[in-house]
Amino acid sequence: MPAHPAGGGRALVKIAVVGAGGVGGVFGARLAAAGHEVGLIARGAHLEAIRSAGLRINGGPRDLHVRPAFATDRPEEIGTAEAVLVAVKQWDLEAAGEVARPLVGLDTTVVPLQNGIDARERLGAILGLDRVIGGTAFINAFISEPGSIEQRTPFNRLVFGEWDGQSSARVEALAAACGPADIEAVASANIELDIWKKFVFLVAVSSVNAVVRGNNGVVRRCPDTEALIGVCAAEAAAVGRARGVPLDADAGAQAARLSASFGDDGIASMAADLIKGTRLELPWLAGKAVALARETGVPVPALETIHAALLPWQDGAAAVVG
């Protein structure tokens, strides 16, 4: 059985967040408010606003205004951290891995929080696979203006664990660090399955939000449109089962029920990016599901259709109209 870096069996005190946008900013701020030494890696106007006036979180279990120990675009100013949360968009993941090098020591735990299913392997190729555990986040948040994040979910949920399902001191330490920070931390005994459950849900919701170019309220105005979430989720789950992931037979229905629990103003980040005309995470969501379906011979007609409809916009509006 592979050994895992020790982590010391205690609460983490120095935590770096690479990508202090909606997701990373919320978790970083709440960890900082709990007393941990937190370093935020950000850039541009958002970074300057955090440096000058701190970071504000509006929404969630409670509003916050914090001044983290570090806010920088130079990770060497933070130095080696005990844990590194990586919360950048998929297309920035390899670059973020390079940025994170000065943060990572022999006992550092790296936690990818990307949408999708392959972030651990991609970060592991840069930082060492033994340092990277599996992770996923359940939160809806976005930068409303530089230095300020709006959180639309009342919860902050992190699920993480060793890929082999074993317990470890570093996972326990990360969970202990999250406890005082209003973060629901789940130490997973099957993180691959949990990542796939999130993937099934997000492939469906992001695809439907994006193709109608609207939030959950828009989707729910038409029962046939809302039902499409369950159809897409069932297709993505079938792909996972074909690849040996033990997803339940009703995983599609489970994803549809989870979607129904989110507010009408909620919108998947890929749909929000489409509306803004910026780049999409399509290749790592519906595109990934379609590619894997073709490899395994699983029919996914709904996802294929939606993927094809969104494909022209994958690289942003400028790529279409430019």
**Among 5-9, 86-90, 313-317, which is the least confidently predicted range?**
5-9
Please report whether residue 24 resides in a domain: yes
Whether residues 247 and 224 fall in one domain: yes
pLDDT at residue 54 is higher than 80: yes
Q: What pLDDT does residue 51 have?
A: 97
Contact 68, 50 (CB under 8 A): yes
Structural domain includes residue 38: yes
Same domain? For 154 and 292 the reply is: no
Residues 123 and 73 in one domain: yes
* Residue 1: band (very low, low, confident or very high) from pLDDT cuts 50, 70, 90: very low
Confidence band, pLDDT 50/70/90 cuts, at residue 321: low
Query: Among the three residues 160, 189, 218, which one is the final residue of a domain in this structure?
Result: 189
Of all residues in the chain, the percent with pLDDT exceeding 70 is 96
Single out the residue in 189, 209, 225 at which a domain terminates. Answer: 189
User: For residue 11, is pLDDT > 80?
Assistant: no
Same domain, 104 and 203: no
In tens, the pLDDT along 117-169 reads 999 999 999 999 999 999 999 998 999 999 999 998 888 999 999 999 999 99
For residues 63 and 183, membership in a common domain is answered with yes
Query: How high does pLDDT run on average in the chain?
Result: 93
**Mean pLDDT of the 213-240 span:** 94
Q: Give the pLDDT mean for 10-27.
A: 89
Range of the domain at 259: 193-321
Q: How large is the average pLDDT for residues 10-30?
A: 90
Does 232 fall in a domain? Answer: yes
pTM of the model as a whole = 0.92
- Reported as a pLDDT band with limits 50, 70 and 90, residue 322 is low
Is the distance from CB of 39 to CB of 45 less than 8 angstroms? no
Domain count, the chain: 2
| 177 shares a domain with 54 | yes
Residue 1 located in a structural domain: no
| Spatial CA neighbour of 147 closest among 210, 65, 229, 82 | 65
| pLDDT of res. 3 | 43
> How does pLDDT run across 23-37, given as a tens digit for each residue?
999 999 999 999 999
Which CATH number does the domain housing residue 262 bear? Answer: 1.10.1040.10
Q: Are 19 and 88 in contact (CB under 8 A)?
A: yes
Q: Are residues 54 and 146 in the same domain?
A: yes
Q: Return the HEC string of 188-235.
A: CCCHHHHHHHHHHHHHHHHHHHHHHCCCHHHHHCCHHHHHHHHHHHHH
Looking at the fold, whether 140 and 86 belong to one and the same domain comes out as yes
Burial class of 143 by CB neighbour count within 10 A (0 to 12, 13 to 18, 19+): middle
At 190 the pLDDT is: 97
Residue 253 lies in a domain: yes
Model confidence band, residue 2 (pLDDT cutoffs 50, 70, 90)? very low
Same domain, 141 and 247: no
